[in-house]
Amino acid sequence: METPISDYQLNLVLTDLLEIYGYDFTAYAKASLKRRINRLYSLDRFPSFAEFRYKVRSDENYFNRFIEQVTVNVTEMFRDPLFYNALKTQVFPVLATYPFIRIWHAGCSTGEEVYSTAILLKEANLLHKSLLYATDINSEVVKKAATGVFPITHMQQYSENYRLAGGNGDFSQYYTAGYDHVLFSEELRKRMVFSTHNLVSDSSFNQFQLILCRNVLIYFEKDLQGRVFALFDESLDKLGYLALGSKETLKLFPMVSRFKQVGNEKIWRKID
Piece of 127-135, 153-161, 186-194, 211-219 that binds another protein (CB under 8 A): 211-219
Q: Residue 215 CB, nearest distance to another protein (Å)?
A: 5
Q: By the 8 A CB rule, do 133 and 104 touch?
A: yes
Site for another protein in 20-59 (CB under 8 A): 29-32, 35-36
Task: Determine which helix (DSSP H) or strand (DSSP E) holds 261, and give its type and residue range.
Answer: strand 259-261
The set of residues, in sequence order, having a beta carbon less than 8 Å from that of 62 and lying 6+ positions away, is: 55, 56
Which CB, 74 or 179, lies closer to another protein? 74
Interacting residue with another protein among 77, 101, 245, 265 (CB under 8 A): 245
Residue 252 lies near another protein (rule: CB under 8 A):
yes
C-alpha pair distances (Å), 236 with each of 198, 253, 270, 271: 17, 17, 8, 11
Sign of the alpha-carbon torsion through 208, 214, 220, 225: positive
- Report how far residue 202's alpha carbon sits from residue 200's, in angstroms, rounded to the nearest whole number: 6
Site for another protein in 8-27 (CB under 8 A): none
Which CB, 240 or 245, lies closer to another protein? 245
For 210, the 3-state DSSP assignment is strand
Q: Residue 15 CB, nearest distance to another protein (Å)?
A: 18
C-alpha pair distances (Å), 211 with each of 108, 149, 171, 267: 11, 24, 24, 10
- Report how far residue 76's alpha carbon sits from residue 112's, in angstroms, rounded to the nearest whole number: 5
Interacting residue with another protein among 27, 193, 200, 218 (CB under 8 A): 218
- Report how far residue 131's alpha carbon sits from residue 149's, in angstroms, rounded to the nearest whole number: 20
Site for another protein in 111-150 (CB under 8 A): none
Which CB, 172 or 246, lies closer to another protein? 246
Residue 3 lies near another protein (rule: CB under 8 A):
yes
Interacting residue with another protein among 18, 72, 164, 256 (CB under 8 A): 72
Which CB, 35 or 55, lies closer to another protein? 35
Residues that bind another protein (CB under 8 A): 1-3, 7, 29-32, 35-36, 72, 74, 215, 217-219, 221-222, 225, 245, 247-249, 252
